[in-house]
Amino acid sequence: MPCQPAPLRALRAADDDANSPTLAAACAFRAGAKPGSAPPLAGLVAQHGNHRAALTWLNPLSTQRLDGRTRLTRDVLGRLNWLTV
């Protein structure tokens, strides 16, 4: 039986520094085939050698922080659509 794609997603907004809120996002897909050498979408950053750790961080019960945070302006978080499943 082939694997069905099963996306895992995580989004973390942080306000550790009142003047510099940050955002980190991650996504993983389970598929039946090995991935190609290039990311499936432009702008994605592969976590070469960090797959197990990245998948652990995507666990909803994980207490680990996501890497790759980006600085935001204050209004960005209010404009995001927070999807839930």
**Does 13 map to a domain?**
yes
Report the domain count for the chain.
1
Q: In this structure, what is the dihedral angle of CA atoms 66, 60, 37, 4, given to the nearest 10 degrees?
A: -170
Tell me the residue range of the domain where 14 lies: 9-30+47-79
Residue 64: per-residue pLDDT? 66
pLDDT in tens, 23-82: 666 667 666 777 777 766 666 666 666 667 767 766 667 676 666 666 666 676 666 665
Helix extents (H) in the chain:
51-58, 76-79
What CA–CA distance (Å, rounded) separates 20 from 84? 26
Contact at 8 Å (CB) between 67 and 14? no
